[in-house]
Amino acid sequence: MKVFVHTPELDVGGYPPSSPFNTRRAGMALRTVEQMGTLDGSDRGVVPPVSLSREQLERFHEPRYLDALARASRGEHDLQALRMGLGTPDCPIFPGMLPYVSLAAGGSVVAAGLILAGEAEIAFNPSGGYHHAHPDRASGFCYVNDVVLACMTLAEAGKRVLFLDVDAHHCDGVQDAFYGRSEVMTVSLHESGKTLFPGTGFEEEIGRGEGRGYAVNFPLPVGTYDEAYLRVIDQGALPVIRAFDPDVIVLELGMDSLAGDPLAHLELSNNAYADVVERVRRLGKPILATGGGGYHVENTVRGWALCWSVLCGDQEHHDAMSFGMGGVLLETTEWSGGLRDRTLLTDGGRRGYVDAEIEAMLRRVRSLVFPLHGIDISLP
């Protein structure tokens, strides 16, 4: 089964309208895939999330942080909570926040369970992907780390888990959680910490102890475009992923690497996302995909709808289909050309800069990480 995790409950409440993190995107993505017909068929369906219990949350988060989250959810502001990141511009306090984040994060754990039970080979929770949340601290729009909880669920069942993160921001919360462990490998492509929050994810961060070689970071320069990005996937990420040979893949599909995102500075079109997802799908493993960032709402919704169709293996039919549905109304978007972006042109000067930065970065990561997995480091 290919499962889209959502419930209308997630369309009410959610983050305050003043937050750039728009929690309506998941429901909009669902309506878009429904309109596109990519939820039709007996092998596809929508499954509701189940709210995480306190006990489940405590598998990663500290009790005193969860207490603060509960107080904040009742509208109580205090200094202790603020020290744990609650009540900041990025992680505002809003009514019903604990029920909302527990349900949104629960979707990723439900997805992990369906994969473990053999009931889903593809599961997508666009309301998940909170990769910045720490055991004792909210950060970067993230309160509860559903990615860590889903990876833990899979790893505790004996699975080798590959976490691939293509959000524009580094997955600091997830990397920290598994930094000393080898059963969960974290691989992240993100805008360099030199120019973007959270300021981590450099080449030299490769894990420690048993986990050495199982954290892999590809920091990208401002202006990274589709072809350069795919070079990093093909020459950096995929060789390591193949050597690791995971049983299951968790994929964080933050859409803030798209050109035009108001919070980041990468220049991808959603064609690059589609190509990444297709390469991952061809590895032939179950995939648990989550949402994440993405602050241009329409582009994010369209990107997720496109990724869903690629995850489902519809890509071959997709282009033909979008021609036929050229006028499809994607709820709010002005773009009526189907789900795919037009190819973005990158000028020669920008290309030269990005290419040189990426080649140097790739050499560093390959020389640090590849030998630990017995992979030849020479570039093709």
Q: Is 256 in the site for Zn ion (CB under 5 A)?
A: yes
Q: Residue 167 or residue 357: which is nearer to Zn ion going by CB?
A: 167
What minimum distance in Å lies between the beta carbon of 58 and Zn ion? 26
Q: Residue 73 or residue 108: which is nearer to Zn ion going by CB?
A: 108
The closest residue (CB) to Zn ion is 293
Segment interacting with Zn ion (CB under 5 A) among 56-64, 198-206, 270-278, 290-298: 290-298
293-332 residues near Zn ion, rule: CB under 5 A: 293
Q: Residue 68 or residue 264: which is nearer to Zn ion going by CB?
A: 264
Segment interacting with Zn ion (CB under 5 A) among 95-103, 109-117, 256-264, 334-342: 256-264
What minimum distance in Å lies between the beta carbon of 18 and Zn ion? 18
Q: Residue 21 or residue 65: which is nearer to Zn ion going by CB?
A: 21
Task: Clarify whether 132 is annotated catalytic.
Answer: yes
Q: Is 170 in the site for Zn ion (CB under 5 A)?
A: no
Q: Residue 27 or residue 201: which is nearer to Zn ion going by CB?
A: 201
Q: Residue 30 or residue 263: which is nearer to Zn ion going by CB?
A: 263
Choosing from 169, 170, 265, 366, the residue that interacts with Zn ion (CB under 5 A) is: 169
Task: Find the catalytic residue in 132, 134, 169, 296.
Answer: 132
Q: Is 254 in the site for Zn ion (CB under 5 A)?
A: yes
Q: What is the 3-state secondary structure (H, E, C) of the chain?
A: CEEEECCHHHHCCCCCCCCCCCCCHHHHHHHHHHHHCCCCCCCEEEECCCCCCHHHHCCCCCHHHHHHHHHHHCCCCCHHHHHCCCCCCCCCCCCCHHHHHHHHHHHHHHHHHHHHCCCCCEEEECCCCCCCCECCECECCECCCHHHHHHHHHHHCCCCEEEEECCCCCCHHHHHHCCCCCCEEEEEEEECCCCCCCCCCCCCCCCCHHHCCCEEEEEECCCCCHHHHHHHHHHHHHHHHHHHCCCEEEEECCCCCECCCCCCCCCECHHHHHHHHHHHHCCCCCEEEECCCCCCHHHHHHHHHHHHHHHCCCHHHHHHHHHHCCCCCCCCCCCCCCCCCCCCCCCHHHHHHHHHHHHHHHHHHHHHHHHHHCCCCCCC
Segment interacting with Zn ion (CB under 5 A) among 34-42, 168-176, 317-325, 352-360: 168-176
Q: How many residues bind Zn ion (CB under 5 A)?
A: 6
Segment interacting with Zn ion (CB under 5 A) among 84-92, 144-152, 175-183, 246-254: 246-254
Residue 110's contacts (CB-CB under 8 Å, 6 or more residues apart) are 5, 47, 48, 49, 50, 123, 125
Q: Is 219 in the site for Zn ion (CB under 5 A)?
A: no
Q: Is 267 in the site for Zn ion (CB under 5 A)?
A: no
What minimum distance in Å lies between the beta carbon of 293 and Zn ion? 3
Residue numbers of the site for Zn ion (CB under 5 A)?
167-169, 254, 256, 293
Active site residues: 132
